[in-house]
Amino acid sequence: MHVPRGLLPDVLDRVRFLTDGEVASYIPQLALADPEGLGIAVVSTAGKVYQAGDADVPFTIQSVSKPFIYALALQVHGIEEVSTRVGVEPSGEPFNAISLEEDTGRPMNPMINAGAIVVSSLMEGSNAAQKTESIRTGLAAFAGRHLDIDEAVYESELETGDRNRALAHLAHAAKVLGSSVDVATETYFRQCSLTVTARDIAVMAATLANAGRNPVTNEQVVSESVARWTMAVMAGSGMYDASGEWLARVGLPAKSGVSGGIAAVDPGRFGIGTYSPRLDARGNSVRGIALLETISAEYGLHVFAHHGGTFDPFE
């Protein structure tokens, strides 16, 4: 596949007219984002970085962190152990839903808050500071650079986080939390407040696309089997209650966040990061969706696309 040089600026111009949606405001600090921000970065598994627009504008990672933290937990504890605490079934529900399995109390999947808080509680360390450091170090390995916490967003998360505390209490009652409620939620709020750019989340996605090896730094961050499992779970539940339609329409494992980022993976080929803060009713970036829909359609990136020819295994 050959991508023409002017593709990324051109595709930004094609979605710029979209002004639907609202910048998230349930966390007051998020409402300060520039609604017009628009950027994209594409990182190939060969380690080449292409970017256009506001690809270096910082924003808090929010839920885009969830698949990467999940991958780190799988790497440390193993798929079987983590799966006793959090499932892999799409919930079909909003990100902050009380989405727990009836019999076990396990959260349905790690891409919604209930599951993500459990995953944060499983990070290495015996208190929130140590667990936060494990997250910061792990996400930095995915991004290939040091990441800082936006303290103002963190404070804002703390003030508005009662629903997340309630989810953590339910997980604790079901005995699936790996720490106290306070440690789990503080770690989760700090995780959401780490600052990244569209370029960073493209490198992070490219690391999954590249069998767990960061193609820019060449560091093996997680194993191939962990990367594969994580991409599969992203494909099933990364876009919340829009996940089914997303997989059918765009066909790339992806994860969105309320600050306007989307990380998408074309396994074996690319990581893509987009940034545009206005969100649709399900909490996904309006222009981010349009960018990824456009690129996927024009370049045949859908994971279930047929690339021509036939196959006979006995030939």
**Interface with ligand DON (CB under 6 A):** 62-63, 95, 113, 157, 164, 192, 256-258, 283
Q: Is 52 helix (H, G, I), strand (E, B) or coil?
A: strand
Assigned token pair, 314: 């006995």
Q: Minimal CA–CA distance to 110: which of 101, 121, 119, 102?
A: 119
Complex with ligand DON: residue 216 or 262, whichever CB lies closer: 262
What value, to the nearest 5°, has the Cα angle with vertex 25 and ends 38 and 86? 90
Q: Which is nearer to ligand DON, 134 or 164 (CB)?
A: 164
44, 63, 120, 285: which is the annotated catalytic residue?
63
Q: Catalytic annotation on 237?
A: no
CB of 33 to ligand DON, least distance (A): 13
Residue with tokens 């040091």: 146
Active-site option among 183, 258, 265, 286:
258
Rounded Cα distance, 18 and 39, in Å: 14
63 or 91, CB closer to ligand DON?
63
Closer residue to ligand DON in complex, CB, 157/200: 157
Residue 13 is which amino acid?
A: D
Q: How many helices (H) and strands (E) does the chain have?
A: 12, 9
- 108 residue type, one letter: M
- Smallest separation (angstroms) from ligand DON to the CB of 308: 37
Neighbouring residues of 237: CB distance < 8 A, sequence distance ≥ 6: 88, 89, 90, 91, 108, 109, 111, 112, 243
Chain mean position to CA 96: 15
Query: What single-letter amino acid sits at 123?
Result: M
Q: Would residue 66 show up in a list of annotated catalytic residues for this protein?
A: yes
User: Which candidate in 188, 243, 255, 286 is catalytic?
Assistant: 188
Catalytic site residue from 50, 154, 240, 275: 240
Looking up tokens 């910048």 gives 23
- Closest to ligand DON by CB, 47 vs 94, is 94
Q: How far is the CB of 192 from ligand DON (least distance, A)?
A: 4
Contact residues for 71 (Cβ-Cβ < 8 A; gap 6+): 208, 212, 221, 222, 226, 227, 230
What is the nearest approach in angstroms of ligand DON to the Cβ of residue 315? 47
In the complex, the smallest distance separating the C-beta of residue 63 from ligand DON, rounded to whole angstroms, is: 3
Active site residue 188: yes
Give catalytic status of residue 154 as yes or no: no
Residues carrying an active site annotation: 63, 66, 188, 240, 258
